[in-house]
Amino acid sequence: MNEKIEKALNDQVNAEIYSAYLYLSMSAYFQSIGLTGFAKWMEIQAAEEFSHAKRFYDYIFHKGGKLKLRAIDGPPVEWKSTEQVFTDVLKHEEKVTSLIHTIVDLALSEKDHATNNMLQWFVAEQVEEEATATDIINKLKLIGNDGNGLFMLDKEFGVRLLNPLVFQGLTG
């Protein structure tokens, strides 16, 4: 495996694990303020991020590379509001999108077509992640300070299930 690509993919494994860590912290925040539906939603987000890390992990090994995990920084633990949490989610997902695009650019410059192909799933996934965060922010803005609306959204989020297809294609 190309050294530059290997380093970039290892960096992305660590970035995806940080994403999971961030969403677990957000889940804990929601638990602490009694929004258990939002907490569950974030737990599922964390599981999806771990599955993203595993996709990169598996790809590194399938291409003969070496995994190099590093320490993961601690995420924030407090937010001003539910809307602020999702504003941070959107900012974070935009950062992840930028990281993915940088690796795509590197794969193209290195003529690594297999890595570029693998990354296209993540390119599409990031469009979905950003759209979902934006949709939730818009709903929270509409709700404003209406506690009833927030509790209705919390109830809706509490029924979210982990999609088993998220883990499809991972080695087992």
- Residue among 66, 61, 91, 63 nearest 76 (CA): 91
E strand map for 72-128: none
Q: Is the separation of the CB atoms in 102 and 8 below 8 Å?
A: yes
Higher-scoring residue by pLDDT: 172, 10:
10
Structure tokens at 136: 């939730």
Residue-level pLDDT at 159: 87
Query: What is the spatial distance between Cα 93 and Cα 16, in angstroms, rounded to a whole number?
Result: 10
| pLDDT bucket at 93, cuts 50 / 70 / 90 | very high
Query: What is the spatial distance between Cα 146 and Cα 158, in angstroms, rounded to a whole number?
Result: 19
Can you list the domains of the chain with their CATH numbers? 3-166 (1.20.1260.10)
* pLDDT tens, residue by residue, 34-59: 999 999 999 999 999 999 999 999 99
Least confident of 99-103, 141-145, 164-168: 164-168
pTM of the prediction?
Answer: 0.91
* Most distant CA atoms of the chain, gap in Å: 54
